[in-house]
Copies of this chain bind each other. A is one copy, B any other.
Amino acid sequence: MERSKFILDEKDMPTAWYNVQADLPEPLPPLRHPGTKEPTRLPPPLFPEAINEQEFSTERWIDIPEEVQAIYRTWRPTILHRAHRLEKALDTPAKIFFKYEGTSQAGSHKPNTAVAQAYYNKKEGIKRITTETGAGQWGSALAMGCAFFGIELKVYMVKVSYNQKPYRRNLMETWGAQCVPSPSPDTEVGRRILAEDPDSTGSLGIAISEAIEDAFARDDTKYSIGSVVNHVLLHQTVNGLETKKMMMEQADAYPDIIVGCVGGGSNFAGLFLPFVKDKLDGTKPDLRIINVEPTSCPTITKGVYAWDYGDVAGMAPIVLMHTLGHTFVPPPVHAGGLRYHGMAPIICHLHKLGFVEARAVNQLATFEAGVQFARTEGIVSAPETNHAIRVTIDEALKCKESGESKTILLAHSGHGHFDMAAYDAYLSGKLVDYEYPEEKVKEALKHLPEVPSA
């Protein structure tokens, strides 16, 4: 019998996160202040000091506090699967592995950083956190993290999702968080927008602005973010470290290709960073790392590499990254987690240096792949993950043509049990493709901030 699953004992779990900033051949460019445009740290009153330090640290290993490890152990380590049944259905000589994060209590990878962030806030005496959420995956993960540490959480949820996706909101409330539709009457920015348009359905940009305003206004409150920035990617490396250990020590395999979906980039970077280390030091020069994004929001494949705001409202720091313009609003694909105008600076930096590549895929093809995965491996995946499954299958089919027995590692970010309406749309023929919205991007790119050279 060939093994189907690789399982790590909890005593062998990683005890430190891997910080790629220690191994970059060129350092990351510093952030710029949204007002002065000068180099800056994270807005200091918004984040706990430990988080701010991690954001810019160049230490290779950062200890995972025992309190965080103890909570990781409620669902980690997660399992590395060999997709025997998918391989057989594709009739491919490729070996397909996938690391599955859908068994966390929130059903995705997001708790890896949510728990860490809640811990550091607690340690610095913070009583309350604010955040924004789109479809609700991040808001619900942070709600769980805050429940574990007894921290109050207020989530500003984009109103259209708040109304359309009550289940994610119910999940946050079950874990004890307060969730309000944004724009809300609870902040100045929310009141201003509601005065202009009482029927506003909100946007992630508005929700971020509300969460930040709320955190600035109260001494006992800090703000938390679920992707893009360095410390979030750092926390996610617990997943890649587990995977690398299992592949090398148990499966006796090393990937030729690693595939994952990217919105802000934290899920996939969490998996691939411990492997990219081997490209940075030259030991695995041929390893391919493919970032998969939607055709409708192709940040790396079509965006420019430029200084831009991390948020739509221009309140967040300016970063050097691939961007479609911070005012760009992507088409309404079901993969809500991939609808972001920018990309994690670490991924963009690695892309510029030639260590990772990117590919865009369209919606219908991702669901076709997701359904094939469901009918072979059983798992009904999140629409975001289906993007990575599409490219995994494509690469496996290339192996069938070439006869190569490559090892493909898929970053499987979570289950789709909260996204069944998207499957319904696909199966009933109502799902559509979205082409690259070139004109909208051109318009948005006119609004990039000008930044003086350092």
- A residues near B (Cβ < 8 Å) are 1, 3-5, 7, 9-11, 66, 70, 73-75, 81, 84-85, 103-107, 111, 144, 147-148, 166-167, 170-171, 173-176, 371, 374-380, 415, 417-418, 420-421, 423-424, 427
Contact = CB atoms under 8 A, between A and B. Distances in A.
Contacts of A104: 378
Nearest to A416: B174
Report how many copies the assembly holds: 2
A70 B81 CA distance: 13
Contact of A171 (B3, B9, B66, B420): B420
A170 B85 contact: no
Contact of A170 (B11, B107, B424): B424
Contacts of A9: 7
Contacts of A420: 166-167, 170-171, 174
A410 to B, nearest CB: 15
Given A166-B421, A417-B417, 19 more contacts: A4-B73, A5-B74, A7-B9, A75-B378, A105-B377, A105-B378, A105-B379, A107-B417, A144-B378, A148-B378, A167-B421, A170-B424, A171-B380, A173-B423, A173-B424, A173-B427, A174-B375, A175-B380, A415-B417
Nearest to A76: B5
A69 B4 CA distance: 11
B421 A170 contact: yes
Contacts of A10: 3-5, 7
Nearest to A428: B173
Contact of A74 (B66, B85, B371): B85
A420 B168 CA distance: 8
Nearest to A105: B378
Contacts of A3: 10-11
Given A10-B4, A378-B75, A417-B417, A423 B371 contact: no
A212 to B, nearest CB: 27
Given A9-B7, A70-B4, A427 B375 contact: no
A209 to B, nearest CB: 28
Contacts of A85: 74, 148
A73 B5 CA distance: 7
A374 to B, nearest CB: 5
A7 B84 CA distance: 21
Given A174-B374, A176-B375, A418-B417, A7 B7 contact: yes
Contacts of A73: 4-5
Contacts of A173: 423-424, 427
Contacts of A421: 166-167, 170
Contacts of A415: 417
Contacts of A11: 1, 3
Nearest to A10: B5
A106 to B, nearest CB: 8
Contacts of A111: 378
25 contacts: A4-B10, A5-B74, A7-B9, A74-B81, A74-B377, A75-B378, A85-B148, A105-B377, A105-B380, A106-B378, A107-B417, A144-B378, A147-B374, A166-B420, A166-B421, A167-B421, A170-B424, A171-B380, A174-B371, A174-B374, A174-B375, A174-B420, A174-B423, A175-B380, A417-B417
Contacts of A380: 105, 171, 174-175
Contacts of A105: 374, 377-380
A379 to B, nearest CB: 5
A166 B144 CA distance: 26
A181 to B, nearest CB: 15
A167 B174 CA distance: 20
A20 to B, nearest CB: 28
A330 B170 CA distance: 26
Nearest to A427: B173
A417 B167 contact: yes
Nearest to A422: B170
Nearest to A107: B417
A66 B74 CA distance: 31
A131 to B, nearest CB: 18
Nearest to A8: B7
Nearest to A81: B74
A195 to B, nearest CB: 29
